[in-house]
Amino acid sequence: MATLFASILRIQTAIKRQPNFKLAMPSKRSRSLKPEHRWSLYPSLHEDVSELLENDELYFDFHPLDNDNKSIRDYDTNIMGSFTCRNGSCPSTGWTSKKVAITIRMYPGEDYNARVYHQRCKRCNWISRPTLDQSYAERVAYRLKKWNGAPMTRQQYHGFKKSDGPYNSRLCEGCKAGHCAEGLGD
């Protein structure tokens, strides 16, 4: 056992002697310097969207660049999702929301993407990226079909059964960016 501790001590000493070595403990101050991602794209859900579009013989590619200025159409709406607070010191176990802000965009050449806005934890204010359900693919496909003249009937969206409490625009990054369909009336 003593040999193991001596080996660990030698390794630590060797690492500290490296020219660019910095021993830093994470702190709230250092975390605040990191850029906070206020929204995400979900290219991994493209297959789900594609399957729904194929019913109307529509074929789109996912546009990987997150830019507003090249889109030819955009639409703000809400989907459903669940959130987990990643702050290790927060007692929150997570929450679900039926009002996750999303901006669906269509680009030239049959491309699309959808910016999904994050929400903040009401206990500690940390930002959280949602886990999405089928409502993402349903909403995106519905909007693309509508823009492309497919005959549409208004859809009922199924997903998370219960939302955890009333909507709070202070915690919604979509509201802060002016893209939340719920918050536009605030």
Q: pLDDT digit string (tens) for 22-45?
A: 444 344 443 444 557 999 999 999
Query: 163 in a domain, yes or no?
Result: yes
Domain range for 88? 38-185
* Residues paired with 104 in a beta bridge: 75, 114
Query: pTM for the whole thing?
Result: 0.75
Query: Of 65, 64, 97, nearest to 83 (Cα)?
Result: 97
Amino acid at 37: H
Query: 31 in a domain, yes or no?
Result: no
Q: Where are the alpha helices (DSSP H) in the chain?
A: 2-16, 28-33, 46-54, 135-147, 173-176
Q: How many CB atoms lie within 10 A of CB 160?
A: 18
Query: 7 in a domain, yes or no?
Result: no
So what's the pLDDT on residue 170? 85
Least confident of 11-15, 60-64, 109-113: 11-15
The total of structural domains in the chain comes to 1
Query: 117 in a domain, yes or no?
Result: yes
Q: Strand 61-62 relative to strand 111-117: parallel, antiparallel, unpaired? A: parallel
So what's the pLDDT on residue 26? 41
So what's the pLDDT on residue 152? 82
In angstroms, the CA 131 to CA 65 distance is: 21
Query: 11 in a domain, yes or no?
Result: no
Task: State whether the Cα torsion 140-58-42-130 is positive or negative.
Answer: positive
More confident of the two residues 170 and 65:
65
